[in-house]
């Protein structure tokens, strides 16, 4: 029989070894939560991403529409990997951390409004981060990647590269003209010429294919905008389109006085070949067109779109007559 004095230390050693093994296994298998807890407790302060306002408490971050979790604790990808010292662009983050809108909120604990809800922080967030895309369009040069907040963004101020056409801009914005029926034609021409001075495709013949393409698109759109806004009738139609009204979709009209007048005028033009007579009709027609333009200006000025529609129709007919006379002369 082995004496107790020999057995005891062996048993003790066995117990110690097995407990160490067990502890190691337990530490390995225990949830990452506890591992981190242990790690943080041992290694305070940790990543520097989140710091606590009190000495040993942990910062937590939660989103009201999702369940709470202690963000300061997780480094593994199954949780909020982007919170800790890890990469800001950690795509494995399963939580959606909202972008805190004000920088002041970053440094003060409490409930902060974010883009999609609210964010409650119990500690200071030292770093602003977001896993949601930024909602507003960030204008960046495709060539040098520098940011620009010019609108419209034609040319990069840093490298001079012509930018792709922004389809979201209307003709008024493109030519930097105030949106109204009343347009200063001289100002319009000035803007048009200013833009064509650097957007015209002939000026980018030595540049890359890509830039030449952008130049052609931009220049084409500027030309289209200029000619649409130059003519009062097309300007009126465009303004109506911008306000969601489309005249082209309407069917036929039954306006006896107007149609009778147009019919008689057209017959008169058809029957006569005398240039003097035609010129006379043209002059009378021009006066009618000018009256229409004045009335349209008043209508748009008052925001009376319903009143503008019959005027645009009338103007279309008079314009056609003017065209017909010009063709005949």
Partner 1 sequence: MLTHFARGVTKPSVLGQQATGGLILLKRAYHEKVVDHYNNPRNVGSFDKNDPTVGTGLVGAPACGDVMKLQIKVDESSGEIVDACFKTFGCGSAIASSSLASEWIKGKPMNEAISIKNRDIAKHLSLPPVKLHCSMLAEDAIKAAVKDYRQKKEKLSVEAYVHVETAA
DSSP one-letter code for 155: B
Shortest spacing between CB 296 and partner 1, in angstroms: 15
**Window 287 to 326, contacts with partner 1 (CB under 8 A):** 312-313, 316-317, 319-320
**Window 33 to 52, contacts with partner 1 (CB under 8 A):** none
Shortest spacing between CB 131 and partner 1, in angstroms: 37
The token duo for 3 is 């004496």
The residue within the footprint of partner 1, chosen from 6, 256, 271, 276 (CB under 8 A), is 256
Q: Name the segment binding partner 1 (CB under 8 A); options: 116-124, 203-211, 263-271, 282-290.
A: 263-271
Instruction: Print burial letters for 206-216: b (CB count within 10 Å at least 16), e (below 16).
Output: ebeeebbbbbb
3-state class (DSSP) for residue 111: strand
The residue within the footprint of partner 1, chosen from 127, 266, 288, 328 (CB under 8 A), is 266
The residue within the footprint of partner 1, chosen from 101, 230, 247, 305 (CB under 8 A), is 247
Q: Which of 253, 200, 258, 255 is nearest to 226 (CA)?
A: 200
Which helix (DSSP H) or strand (DSSP E) does residue 219 occupy? helix 209-230
Q: Name the segment binding partner 1 (CB under 8 A); options: 12-20, 145-153, 200-208, 253-261.
A: 253-261
The Cα–Cα gap between 115 and 134 comes to 9
Q: Name the segment binding partner 1 (CB under 8 A); options: 26-34, 87-95, 146-154, 265-273.
A: 265-273
Cβ neighbours of residue 182 closer than 8 Å, sequence gap 6 or more: 297, 301
Please, which residue, 99 or 320, has the CB nearer to partner 1? 320
The Cα–Cα gap between 174 and 166 comes to 9
Q: Which residues pair with 61 in a beta bridge?
A: 69, 121
Shortest spacing between CB 270 and partner 1, in angstroms: 8
Which helix (DSSP H) or strand (DSSP E) does residue 50 occupy? strand 50-51
Interacting residues toward partner 1 by CB under 8 A: 247-248, 250-256, 258-260, 262-263, 266-267, 270, 312-313, 316-317, 319-320
């Amino acid at each position: 029989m082995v004496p107790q004095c020999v057995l005891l230390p062996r048993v003790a050693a066995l117990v110690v070894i097995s407990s160490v093994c067990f502890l190691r296994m337990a530490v390995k298998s225990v949830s990452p939560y506890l591992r981190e807890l242990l790690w943080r407790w041992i290694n305070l302060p940790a990543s520097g991403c989140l710091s606590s306002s009190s000495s040993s408490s942990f910062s937590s971050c939660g989103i009201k529409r999702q369940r709470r979790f202690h963000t300061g604790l997780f480094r593994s990808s199954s949780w909020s990997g982007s919170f800790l010292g890890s990469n800001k662009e950690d795509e494995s983050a399963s939580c959606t951390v909202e972008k805190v809108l004000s920088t002041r909120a970053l440094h003060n604990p409490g409930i902060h409004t974010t883009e999609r809800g609210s964010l409650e922080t119990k500690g200071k967030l030292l770093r602003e981060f977001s896993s949601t895309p930024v909602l507003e369009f960030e204008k960046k040069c495709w060539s040098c990647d520098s940011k620009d907040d010019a609108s419209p963004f034609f040319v990069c101020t840093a490298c001079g590269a012509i930018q792709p056409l922004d389809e979201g801009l209307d003709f008024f914005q493109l030519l930097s003209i105030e949106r109204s029926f009343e347009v200063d034609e001289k100002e319009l021409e000035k803007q048009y010429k200013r833009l064509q001075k650097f957007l015209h495709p002939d000026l980018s013949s030595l540049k890359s294919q890509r830039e030449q393409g952008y130049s052609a698109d931009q220049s084409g759109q500027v030309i289209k905008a200029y000619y649409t806004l130059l003519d009062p009738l097309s300007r009126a139609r465009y303004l109506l389109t911008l306000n969601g009204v489309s005249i082209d979709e309407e069917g036929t009209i039954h306006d006896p006085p107007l149609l009778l007048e147009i019919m008689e005028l057209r017959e008169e033009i058809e029957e006569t070949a005398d240039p003097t007579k035609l010129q006379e009709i043209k002059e009378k027609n021009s006066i009618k067109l000018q009256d229409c333009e004045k009335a349209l200006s008043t209508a748009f000025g008052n925001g009376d779109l319903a009143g503008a529609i019959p005027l645009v129709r009338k103007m279309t007919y008079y314009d056609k007559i003017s065209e017909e006379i010009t063709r005949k002369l």
